[in-house]
Structure 1
Amino acid sequence: MSLFEHPEFADHQQVSFFSDQASGLKAVIAVHNTNLGPALGGCRMWNYASSAEALNDVLRLSKGMTYKAAMAELKLGGGKSVIIGDPRTQKSPAMMEAMGRCVESFMGNYITAEDSGISVDDLKLMEKHSQNIAGTRANYSYDGGESDGNPAPSTAYGVFVGLKASVAHRLNRNLKGVKVAIQGLGHVGYRLAKHLHSEGAELFVTDIFPDNLDKAATELGAKIVDPKDIFSQDVDVFAPCALGASINEETIPLLKASVIAGAANNQLAFEHLGGELAKRDILYAPDYVINAGGVIDIYHQRMDSDATALRAHIERIGVTLNEIYERAGAENKATNNVANAIAEERFGLN
């Protein structure tokens, strides 16, 4: 299949493929849109089943970053990079340095940061060869504490704020006693679980790594659920915090939750499924709105700002979601379609 005919190609400005034999690096970088500013988007390392799967992911993720930046009112565009490989067994310093050279070849048009499978230490290796690596250091954290540059705490806090607002809108209650099923306990998912636990929520969790599950059960009293059963839990909220496309034709009929609010990117396998959720009276928090805390953090760290301004900006996620929900109700439209329309107005698609 030609790139231009790919179903996820959305007039991307640049898509580049990289291979470094010495380090074993195989990567794809996609820049979707730079109308508002340079493209920002994290680097993900995942053991994709094929290069086609990796391409599909990077096209969807980079487009999502454009919409995310626009909805968060940032002067940034959208991009993303993916490395094909198992981050636990195939990652090496040489590979990370090679990735830094790939990023630098975009000459500032693409800025990368942390994502699944990539750590701050990995970014510091990339930084040896590129000036366009974000998230390697920070002057402050949204909570006033110290930060190593990892935006995951801000992402998790933003999802928590958005989930709380969504529960209030749909269920008219606070989080005490609310049952939440969390799919994925990575950098963001586990922090989200801690926030929810502190507010008295009851947690049902699944993850592909047993150590993450054991930690959640021990520290948070979470109930461990088999991955195939997480969708059908009798809960109030389903929080996708793993890879994308978890909300699809097979999983929607299984859902018992009234709210979907999570950290994963590209949660809907297809855009029309937002309408299906609306028909089932399931409130969907558009993923690129609710999970924008990390990119907001990176943006503030690169400008003259402080912890107070950062926290206030992240907390506007809840306000933005409520505006989307109100407009969706008034216009009888799916929440994802309303969010898309607002974002496209902002970055100049229409």
Structure 2
Amino acid sequence: MTSKRTDRESTVDGRPLEPRARLRAAFAMAPEALLTQVFSGEQLEELDRRLDLEPAVLQSRSDIERLPGADRLELLITGWGCPVLDEALLERLPALRYVVHSAGSVKPFVTDALWERGIRVSSQAAANAVPVAEYTVAMIVLANKGVFAMARRAQRGEPDPDIRTALADAGNYGKTVGVIGASQIGSLALRMLAAYDLRLLVADPTLDDAGAAALGAQLVPLDVLMRESDVVSVHAPSLPETHGLIGADELHAMRPGATLINTSRAELIDQDALLQVAATGRISAILDLVQPGESGRALARLDNVVVTPHLAGSVGVELHRLGAGVLDEVDRVADGAALRFPIDARNLAHSA
């Protein structure tokens, strides 16, 4: 994604000019250990060559407030745990022009003061969407194949079933998969699923028939999607109006033997209602996160529920994809080009 370039030099009549001045920049994230998790050693070296980097990682408001030369910072590379960039803090950063976020949502730290000052912001939400979509597709394929139920039988020491009879309805050919939310992740998952022999449905109030068709899916109301899908995968943003989006009525409408997958926020699903329905064995669930409390623990104990510790997003070496995206944005800034993944303040309230 990025090129190996040193400080840029240009020539006039074959004579080299002075290298372009490097932007004064700093990392703002917490804890400091995130730096070497998101960025490989090579990526950090590249950033150090391309930017005039403050050596300290800014982990708190006081770190920024006390930083000598904070008034000269032009670019912040932010990450999880970045201090809230409100009006008071931005007074210490009068030269700030760019915020390049190394993770997904910028909602935890951006404020109106950023937009009012004309500061340009980008995010690596698109890069973080890749592993979530990959996880989703993998879970859909495995769920339709009956893998989780068969694995539990083996764990209990039960004899192998006659798969021609015990799994007569298993498999992916011709199955219906419903995706709730044509977000970056939902859209990418649909594009990946287009490679399979599946019927794809999508429910999203912001999408039209043409947009759904471009994703290889049919646009349907939520109730139709819940009723007709063998697997339902949730990718809607967490907004006040989407909390409890999947409630008792939606869960009871699902086909017997269907699977619910949630890699979005836990609050989109009525967890108590899901526990009641899943406990009957009528449907299965794959949940990348649950709300804390007894209902979450009870769900995890059910044989027909798989709970993972919020690992669908970037983990391990996948984090370096975020670092590569930051390098690309830094190159664009240095070249005076438009950001590849700019945040539009007008859409922020309706995004994840």
| TM-score > 0.5, shorter chain as reference | no
- TM-score, length-scaled by structure 1: 0.42
- TM-score, length-scaled by structure 2: 0.42
Q: Which has the larger radius of gyration?
A: 2
